[in-house]
Structures are given as C-alpha cells and as structure tokens.
Amino acid sequence: MPADAEVAALLDRLPVLAGRPRTVTPLTGGLSNHSYRVATPSLTAVLRIPAGDAGLLGIDREHEYRNTLVAHAAGIGPPVLERLGGVTVLGWLPGRTLSAADLHDPAVLDRVLAACRALHAGPRFAGDVDLASVQRRYRAICAEHAFAVPPGYDDHREAVERLTAALAAAPEGTVPCHNDLVPANILDTGERVSFVDFEYAANSDPCFELGTLAGAADLDAGEVAERYYGRSRPSRAARARLYAILGHHTWALWAAIRAGSAGVDVDLTGWGRAQYERSAAALTSAALPDLLDAATRSD
C-alpha cells in the first residue's frame, strides 16, 4: 500500500482532484490495485493505483481503460474521470457491494443477469480471451518461476484436455464479458446492477461469464445459464458447468502466481487450494462424461 504522502502527491497531479479539500479512504478487497475513495465538495471518486505484477497475470491496463469506457457507455460500469499512466480516477457508483449469499436471492440474481445481457449485447471490447489458453499459460508461468501449485494438480491434465476439447467442439461465439464477476465486483441499488474492475474484461464465451459468476457464489452454473437464456438449453447449461470447473482449476494457478510474485495480506495459498479441490472433485466425478457429451450437442 502506498504511503499517505505518496497518495497525496499523486492526487495533486490529477486535475480533477488537485487543489480541493478532500477526504481519502482506503478501500479493501482488491489484490491487483490499491483503491481509495476520494470525496471532495463537488464529487466522489475512486482512485485506482496498479499493484503487483500485472504482466504475469495477463492484465493489460490499456485494454482495462478502453473496456471501462465501453462498459460505462453500455450503462454497466463507472465513468472514467481521468487517467495518468496506469492510474485511473473513476466516478463513484451508487449501490452496495454484493456477497455470495446475496446472489442466492432470485431477484438479485435476475438483476445481475440483466446487467450481463446488456453488457454482452453491447459494443465489442478490446482484446479476446479463451479460458483454456489462460489455464495453460498460467501453468507454464508457475513452472518457469517455480511457484508452488497445489499437490496433485497435474494429475488431472488428461481430464482437463477432454474438458477443453468439448468446449472447443461447439463454440458459441464471443461477446464482451467482464470475466471476473465475483460478488465484490458487483454493485446493486435494489433496482439495477453495475459492475466494477474491468482488468480482465475481454470478448469471451458468455458461458465463461456465467460459470465464473456461479462458481464465485456457489451456485449451480447450469441453472444460472438457463436463467440467463430464459429457457432450457442443456448444451449451454453444460458449457457453463464446464467453465465453472475450468475456472476453479485456473484460479488455483492465479493464486499460486499472485502469492509467489507479490506479498499480499490474504491467505491466497489456502484460497487457491480450495479452488483446486473443487475442480479436482468435478474432474474425477462420474458425472463428467455426460457433461462433456451434453456440451457438444446443439439445442
């Protein structure tokens, strides 16, 4: 976390915030940025300062900036008030930050899925991402830097290859996706939902988005997909479930890279292990072959 004097000096370099009475409050929860709520007599904003090794994790700050602009134009994300290098000043959005438990409320989940549909139907984002490629790249980075992966991780390589082959067999096409829809990145006013933190945003499979959302909130990804599509779509439900599995398997590596490359005051090793245990259980389940088959069918 930057020292208070460093933050104050940075604020004085940003015309939208410089030379004004202000109250600066650190915001907790982020791992790839240091974020602050900055309140002045005329506006409330969020200052985001990049932290950690964004390159290893595949974060492109130029894409993040451009995609935040697109998301705001679509009515889903915050306005960008100013930018200085990788530092951004964003408008403060109304609403409360959701928890995983909140997403088990059907009304809340429906508002989140409505925001997903609006984002997915909007203009294309900068950049494209394929989760299978991310998983392979993260595994290579862990090997190159000797970052500790969960014991037994590579025992599931063949099952992961079958999973990724099933996803590639019947691609749905890509749409602009947030790609990191954990509850902490979702704000809800009770009437509408907004998303924040677009550092992983790119064009991707909407079922990846749905699988990530479901996995972060311990929901059934297939049921989330059918709610998103508004009808029964067995192949899309299967794809969302497979993406949830692959997501857990990938986030285990994300945790290994983050823990190994930068000191953060959270138990990333334990969190990564929990992600791996969820993926390992699914990859060795007797239900996996039927799920792979369903994902390749059309409906």
Tokens 């790119």 sit at which residue? 202
CATH number for the domain spanning 26: value is: 3.30.200.20
Q: Is the dihedral of CA 165, 123, 237, 279 positive or negative?
A: positive
Domain boundary among 93, 112, 135: 93
Distance between CA atoms of 238 and 223, rounded to whole angstroms? 10
Per-residue pLDDT reduced to its tens digit, 191-201: 999 999 999 99
Domain boundary among 46, 66, 93: 93
Q: Residue 279 is encoded by which pair of tokens?
A: 């993926």
Asked if residue 193 lies in contact with residue 223, where contact means CB atoms within 8 angstroms, the answer is: no
Looking at residues 47-55, what average pLDDT do you find? Answer: 79
CATH number for the domain spanning 118: value is: 3.90.1200.10
Number of separate domains in the chain: 2
Banded pLDDT at 190 (limits 50, 70, 90) = very high
* Residues 240 and 138 occupy one common structural domain: yes
DSSP state of 128: B
* Residues 110 and 86 occupy one common structural domain: no
pLDDT at 53: 62
Looking at residues 98-117, what average pLDDT do you find? Answer: 98
Domain boundary among 93, 125, 153: 93
Which residues sit opposite 45 in a β-bridge? 38, 91
Q: Distance between terminal CA atoms of the chain?
A: 50
* Residues 138 and 173 occupy one common structural domain: yes
* Residues 162 and 140 occupy one common structural domain: yes
- Residue 113's domain comprises 97-295
The more confident residue out of 54 and 197 is: 197
Distance between CA atoms of 171 and 83, rounded to whole angstroms? 36
* Residues 88 and 102 occupy one common structural domain: no
Asked if residue 203 lies in contact with residue 176, where contact means CB atoms within 8 angstroms, the answer is: yes
Question: If 0-12 CB within 10 Å is exposed, 13-18 middle and 19+ buried, where does residue 186 land?
Answer: buried
This model's pTM is above 0.85: yes
